[in-house]
Structure 1
Amino acid sequence: MEKIILFSGKVKYPITLDPGVWIFDDRRVDLTTYFNKEEEKKDELEEYTKEISKHWDREIMEGAIFPPTLKTEKKFEKEKVLTGTFGIPFKPFLKNAEPESHASTVIIVCEEEEISIPIEQAEELVLGFSENGKPLIEDGPAYIYYGDGSNKGNPIKNVKAFRVE
């Protein structure tokens, strides 16, 4: 049971989180680059139009080029999973638990302390679950990173539960 994180308190649905299965989740993010990127607002239609234009121009000039085989893509993805440092956004879990309307804080229950964070700030948290391809066994099962990356070098460790109050 040490690898399970309980999510309880003033929520409609108490849930349990299992960081061991997050490696298969499409919402996972690469923590080595996640906090380095700058938030930039993109015009999706303009970006799409530019990509299509480049593709069209290339096909006219060079002819159609078929994409790489699925084998090479799968091999690259497998390599990345085996060596990567990953996390997952906290917001979907908070949303699924459905905090009550008067709930205002999320308490992170660690082995030796409890850290209180406003719900609005908690929505931006990222839960780290893998470092260099290995699960966080010693001081895990998850690390907590603030959304702005301010504690990137010193995440909250030994997380045991979340309690909404």
Structure 2
Amino acid sequence: MRSGAEDAVERARMWLESMKSLPEREGTNEYLALTGLRFDRTEPGRFVCSLPVPKILTDDEGKWSRGAMATLIDAMSAVAIMSCDLPIKISVDLSISYYLDVSAEEEVEIESRALKHKGKLSAVVVDIRKKGTLEAVALGRQWMSMPRHLGARLRNRGSGYAGG
């Protein structure tokens, strides 16, 4: 029998899978940014994935697009929070440091970690590194918040979520 934490991780994983596999998502930024993403390790508050950078996500110079990286960081932040058995949240602050260019078909490792939850806010860090060398590619720091209408709905249900 699975624990509640394992169920939360599986729900988060299924949500991320749906972002890259539902036909109605095809062609969206999220769909394209997640194409080819593989799960390496998953646990509550932490997802580690691999991605060979698709050629479609490169710029005119053949380097991985910063916009595609930002979209991936946003999705990986959400899944880290969801895996803590918390509802999906919206981005309120996103800061990304870009360190190194990545070419098409180079493989990267993406690690997202939920660091802290306080009230409606959650802090997440997403670290992208070249697979093999572990050279830093980008680091995303993000604060996400539960939408006001969702917080009221959860309080009314007596969910036990302390985010009020």
> Could you state the TM-score of these two structures normalised by the residue count of structure 2?
0.33
Query: Hey, which of these two has a bigger chunk of strand by percent?
Result: 2
Structure showing greater radius of gyration is 1
Normalising by structure 1, report the TM-score.
Answer: 0.32
